[in-house]
């Protein structure tokens, strides 16, 4: 469930469920997801605490507690949060947080089949959080800032854009789509992008993030597969110029691009 729009929707749900509530139980037996951490430390840090805020930066969520402690949640590839009443645990449930607020109680569950996600309790911010680049929603995507960051490396431009310390929250779908909208070859060395290209890229990234977020707003399901133009469409015609969409592995990630209109 990963890219920024999904994480933002998840943040809003957690905020609705948790802020102002007091944690009555917190359990996880999953040492893979609690990394670093332990079942004992997880419960100890959370039980009895009230939740003061649920924040997001890039793909990370930070739950703030009334004693200054924090719970960090990264959804990895297949993580999501649900409110499950008192239902029994499903097969992929990795953690459970029960809360009470003004006499009513909720049971919030972290579900993650592949367990690439993480839950970390800490008294201070994690390096993973503090090292994140600008957040596209909170900070906006400043083309000048992005240009200066992209100018520092000759890695493929798409790889650089997906670097969470360059810009926080952009994943493979958003990056693939944005390079197509901006008509830029995702394999081009990052430092070779012109100022005009970075400007188009910044606008395309912003538009794609807001488009996907908009599709999820006004909906309250867990369907997060949105219509895309070329992601996963190698071999079919480019929706813009009808050339056959190609595929390449960039920074270890499968990427689709149009060889005709994503030139130079």
Partner DNA sequence: CTCTATGTTTAATT
Partner DNA sequence: GAATTAAACATAGA
Stretch that binds DNA, among 8-16, 62-70, 72-80, 214-222 (CB under 7 A): 72-80
Using CB under 7 A as the binding rule, whether residue 74 contacts DNA is answered as: yes
- Token output for 47: 């039980």
| Nearer residue to DNA within complex by CB, 3 or 98 | 3
Question: What x/- string results for residues 164 through 203 when contact with DNA is judged by CB under 7 A?
Answer: x------xxx---------------x--------------
Residue list 125-144, contact with DNA (CB under 7 A): 128
- Which of 12, 115, 203, 260 is in the footprint of DNA by CB under 7 A? 115
**Closer CB to DNA, 51 or 121, in the complex:** 121
Token pair of 169 as six digits: 């929250």
151: contact with DNA by CB under 7 A: no
- According to CB under 7 A, which one of 40, 85, 91, 102 is a site residue for DNA? 91
Annotated active-site positions, please?
2-3, 59, 253
Taking residues 245 to 264 in sequence order and writing x for each that binds DNA by CB under 7 A, - otherwise, the string is ----x-xxxx----------
Interaction site with DNA (CB under 7 A): 1-3, 6, 32, 58-59, 74, 76-77, 91-92, 113-116, 128, 152-155, 162, 164, 171-173, 189, 224-225, 232, 249, 251-254
């Amino acid at each position: 469930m990963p890219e920024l729009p999904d994480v933002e929707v998840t943040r809003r749900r957690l905020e609705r469920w948790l802020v102002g509530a007091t944690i009555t139980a917190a359990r996880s037996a999953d040492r893979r997801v609690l990394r670093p951490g332990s079942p004992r430390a997880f419960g100890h840090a959370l039980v009895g605490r009230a939740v003061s805020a649920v924040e997001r930066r890039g793909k990370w969520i930070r739950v703030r507690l009334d004693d200054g402690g924090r719970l960090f949640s990264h959804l990895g590839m297949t993580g999501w949060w649900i409110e499950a009443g008192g239902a029994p645990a499903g097969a992929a449930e990795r953690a459970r947080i029960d809360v009470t607020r003004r006499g009513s109680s909720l049971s919030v569950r972290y579900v993650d089949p592949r367990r690439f996600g993480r839950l970390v309790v800490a008294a201070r911010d994690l390096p993973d959080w503090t090292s994140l680049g600008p957040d596209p929603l909170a900070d906006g995507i400043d083309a000048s800032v992005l240009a200066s960051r992209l100018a520092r490396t000759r890695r493929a431009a798409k790889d650089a854009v997906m670097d969470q310390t360059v810009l926080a929250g952009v994943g493979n779908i958003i990056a693939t789509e944005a390079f197509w909208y901006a008509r830029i070859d995702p394999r081009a060395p990052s430092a070779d992008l012109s100022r005009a290209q970075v400007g188009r890229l910044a606008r395309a990234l912003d538009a794609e993030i807001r488009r996907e977020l908009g599709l999820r707003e006004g909906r309250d399901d867990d369907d997060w597969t949105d219509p895309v133009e070329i992601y996963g469409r190698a071999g079919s015609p480019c929706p813009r110029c009808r050339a056959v969409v190609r595929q390449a592995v960039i920074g270890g990630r499968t990427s689709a691009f149009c060889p005709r209109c994503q030139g130079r």
